[in-house]
Structure 1
């Protein structure tokens, strides 16, 4: 335990934030990413109120009760992240950083590099969250709304920290980037992504649309239309989608339908957080070998065992 705390202290010291964070326990100080997100929440609420006043008369765009529920789902996510991220994720990051391959100082150049690499990690984490059922079990909550507005951005799953998506960022610590700065880049990426959950902003300048993830691109990502599913995974940039063949633009002949292909008809926070885990357990209980049952954890969400596989 003492050695682990020394790793915490080294990470904080190397980050240059020791003076600012030395009043906090190391496991809480690490999660400045979530602290940034919590501090930004009043801004999020204010922006949503502005949007709500503009679209409140269109039930297809916003529902008051659902919006309140979305913020409650987000509060549950923030609570578990604050309580457990430093206890679960940070020891792994600290261990990786302790055995880092390089000593990477924080400069303008390395900060830009880290920003891009963090978004690359987000791309693969996000893509896996759609194509690996275990990760989808946590991410499905975010996609289950049939409306697209700023409150939808807050629709998150309280199990995220236990689900393991944060592992996609550990290679950056092993490479030599300080975990504190990785967390800051991640938090600022989440702040950016809040503002692309809206129908009020149309297409932007073509140069912006080509490089960055925009409201137009992200509306496609939240669609359940067959031609739009599993597209536009980017966080801040859309370039990785273009590079890896997962980009799609909205078509005039196919209006977007928001939500998931198997809707969840429940107002319960627990059901919205846990329904996919329940369905995974149900599918794993079906007759078959242990190997066949375990495949439900890493196969795509739509995968089903065939008679031959059983």
Structure 2
């Protein structure tokens, strides 16, 4: 595998610089495939009288969020992420030479780390502040996968990949495995596919499982965190099958297509809660408590998640 990477390096360096973010490079190279899949999805849904799933304003918003996310990821990588991940890699227990077989091991290990990163992104408000952007769409098409936050790179979520770096996998390999993980997930954001065979549905994250993940139906909230595999959800009790129709979006739904508001509203609310009077411990708890946590003594927060964002 390293031999193949070495052959591709001159071209990648020309396109992405001398020390590229392999995650973003991989996703950028796949962009034509992503757009092609979205075109096929639209034509399929149109043929079956369901093209209304493609809501014009939301699709445009998704694409703007995706483009700004890609650009900002590259900037943050150059300014901070690359150095931070190499700093963590400096504490490795050994140095692993990447081969196809141990890259598979890396991919499975990173998928396990991704499950906990994704779960934390729903259950710890600091991480939810970035992830909420992805869930704020009120529909599901492959363009929903583009709906990402400007602030992912700076919320320190890279600590979830630390186990792979400490084991000894190089930064480029961890980023590439993460990119493959995210690339797969583009294709599970769709209503064009119902279900696959039972064994696929049992092992893998599928469109059916991921529709549940995007639902704000009470039984669907905070379920199905897997990226490529769904086995971690089955193992740790967070699996929920798709039964009733999914209502997409979040409980406190932003009523806007403004991409700056979509990126910042939860950060603004979290820091507003932190600054409200009270003991330091309870004020700071807003940062690591679940998003729906209500601080004792602040009655005005009781309906916080039910109020729409202007």
Q: TM-score, structure 2 length as denominator? A: 0.89
- 1:87-107 superposed Cα distances (whole Å, 9 cap, x missing partner): 312222212323310222222
Q: Take 1:14 and 1:294, find their aligned partners in 2: how far apart are those partners? A: 49
- 1:112-163 superposed Cα distances (whole Å, 9 cap, x missing partner): 1101011111111100000000100000010011101011010000111111
Aligned residues of 1:15 and 1:180 also touching (Cα < 8 A): no
Aligned residues of 2:13 and 2:20 also touching (Cα < 8 A): no
Answer yes or no: is 1:277 the counterpart of 2:267: yes
Aligned residues of 2:215 and 2:249 also touching (Cα < 8 A): yes
What is residue 188 of structure 2 aligned with on the other side?
196
1:161 is paired with a residue of what secondary structure?
coil
- 1:155-197 superposed Cα distances (whole Å, 9 cap, x missing partner): 0001111111122112211110011011111111111000000
What is residue 186 of structure 1 aligned with on the other side?
178
Aligned residues of 1:27 and 1:90 also touching (Cα < 8 A): no
Q: Take 2:202 and 2:62, find their aligned partners in 1: how far apart are those partners? A: 30
What is residue 52 of structure 1 aligned with on the other side?
42
How has the CA–CA distance of structure 1 residues 29 and 255 changed in structure 2, closer, same or farther, with 3 Å as cutoff? same
Q: Take 1:267 and 1:283, find their aligned partners in 2: how far apart are those partners? A: 24
Q: Take 1:129 and 1:239, find their aligned partners in 2: how far apart are those partners? A: 19
How has the CA–CA distance of structure 1 residues 192 and 308 changed in structure 2, closer, same or farther, with 3 Å as cutoff? closer
* Structure 2: 5+ residue stretches without partners: 300-310
- 1:206-259 superposed Cα distances (whole Å, 9 cap, x missing partner): 1111111010110110010111110100000111111111111112xx221111
What is residue 252 of structure 2 aligned with on the other side?
262
Q: Take 2:225 and 2:14, find their aligned partners in 1: how far apart are those partners? A: 34
Q: Take 1:308 and 1:275, find their aligned partners in 2: how far apart are those partners? A: 20
Q: Take 1:77 and 1:173, find their aligned partners in 2: how far apart are those partners? A: 24
Q: Take 1:201 and 1:283, find their aligned partners in 2: how far apart are those partners? A: 41
- Deviation, structure 1 residue 283: 1.2
Q: Take 1:114 and 1:266, find their aligned partners in 2: how far apart are those partners? A: 40
How has the CA–CA distance of structure 1 residues 54 and 23 changed in structure 2, closer, same or farther, with 3 Å as cutoff? closer
What is residue 142 of structure 1 aligned with on the other side?
134
CA RMSD of aligned residues (A): 2.5
Q: Take 2:227 and 2:214, find their aligned partners in 1: how far apart are those partners? A: 13
- Deviation, structure 1 residue 53: 2.9
Q: TM-score, structure 1 length as denominator? A: 0.89
What is residue 229 of structure 2 aligned with on the other side?
237
Answer yes or no: is 1:119 the counterpart of 2:108: no
Describe how 1:73-92 pairs up with structure 2 within 5 A: 73-92=65-84
* Structure 1: 5+ residue stretches without partners: 1-12
Aligned residues of 1:148 and 1:258 also touching (Cα < 8 A): yes
